[in-house]
Structure 1
Amino acid sequence: MKIILIGYMGSGKSTIGKALGLLVNIPFVDLDSYIEEKEKQTIHDIFKTKGEVYFRKQEHFYLKELLQADGPMVLSLGGGTPCFINNEKLLFNNTSYKTVYLNVSVKELADRLLIGKASRPLISHINSLEEMQEFVGKHLFERTVFYNKSEVVIDANKDQKTILEKLVMMLF
């Protein structure tokens, strides 16, 4: 089985994905890291040198590649992945994997993202908590329609142990 973790940036997809993979002995893949490895460039540099359109096309290509790969996998996606280039059709119309939305509040996301904003191209320019909450709120409003198509929705405002216990109960 493939387990696909979906949610806004900062929702814990990579952290929870790694921990879940270890817990249930399934390989973990972070789509952004996979893209960086394949493109031999950081996401930040891809955005900077080739633009978002190029990035989204490559993201779609590598997502298809991973979804078609044999074997089980815990896969964490980028926050925008479900929203671009018909990725929605790839993600939500297949019974060979389960999609999981890690739902985190705007306030919690803004708090988390303000700390690590330098490594995230879409928010590196934001300087205050109020600006971050506005930015996150707007994007989350636009993206939630995609995220909510996930088979499983988890309240990820909780601690990692609680989230993992709930995921294991719901998925296995």
Structure 2
Amino acid sequence: MGSGKTTIGKIIAKELKCSFLDLDEVLENELGTSIPEVFKTKGEVFFRKKEHQFLNEIVSKDASFILSTGGGTPCYSGNMDTMLKEADAVVYLKVAIAGLVQRLMPEKEHRPLIKNIANEDLPEFIGKHLFERNNYYLKADHIVNCDNKEPQRIAEEIIALLG
């Protein structure tokens, strides 16, 4: 969350002249409502089931595209194994806790997982989530350090990795 997946994914897709998909946008379009509303009315378990379903539908397509997932996607329902098996490459955009706090603070209200976290508790919350998710993230084919880098530079690094 907050690492720049959507921004960087769009840049890469444009550079490689392929389509870009954001799994969260697919979910919102298919469910006809926003992700915060899904969390509020149906809960996280429902959301994760739908996320898994749509991820599998997307990656089974025989097409060239860049896919941005939610930060929790790799951690549930064997999703990371599915992505590693089906995708040409899985990239983890690694950002330090301080950088994530700085990026997420202005948009807390639009992020269901952190909306109700006190500002002073946000660094600990993010650190805990990164610790819990680290084993999944570290399975990625490529890990790109994104601290203090502009999105265009990160995109160029990833394109070079993809060869």
User: Which residue of 1 is the match for residue 146 of structure 2?
Assistant: 156
Q: 1:42-53 maps to which residues of 2 (within 5 A)? A: 42-53=34-45
> In structure 1, how many angstroms separate the alpha carbons of the residues matched to 2:36 and 2:19?
25
> In structure 1, how many angstroms separate the alpha carbons of the residues matched to 2:94 and 2:150?
13
Moved >2 Å (runs of 4+)? none
| SS of structure 2 residue aligned to 1:101 | strand
What amino acid sits opposite 1:86 in the alignment?
G
Match of 1:144 among 128, 131, 134: 134
| SS of structure 2 residue aligned to 1:29 | strand
Structure 1 unaligned blocks of 5 or more: 1-8
- CA RMSD in angstroms comes to 1.0
What amino acid sits opposite 1:108 in the alignment?
G
> In structure 2, how many angstroms separate the alpha carbons of the residues matched to 1:86 and 1:45?
25
> In structure 2, how many angstroms separate the alpha carbons of the residues matched to 1:160 and 1:73?
19
1:44-66 superposed Cα distances (whole Å, 9 cap, x missing partner): 01111101000000000000000
User: Which residue of 1 is the match for residue 47 of structure 2?
Assistant: 55
Match of 2:10 among 9, 18, 28: 18
Question: Percent of counterpart pairs with the same letter?
Answer: 42
Question: What is the number of equivalent residue pairs in this alignment?
Answer: 162
- Residues 1:131 and 2:121 are matched in the alignment: yes
Q: 1:92-107 maps to which residues of 2 (within 5 A)? A: 92-94=84-86, 96-107=87-98
User: Which residue of 2 is the match for residue 6 of structure 1?
Assistant: none
Q: TM-score scaled to structure 2, two decimals?
A: 0.96
Deviation at 1:159, TM superposition (A): 1.1
Q: TM-score scaled to structure 1, two decimals?
A: 0.91
- Residues 1:117 and 2:117 are matched in the alignment: no
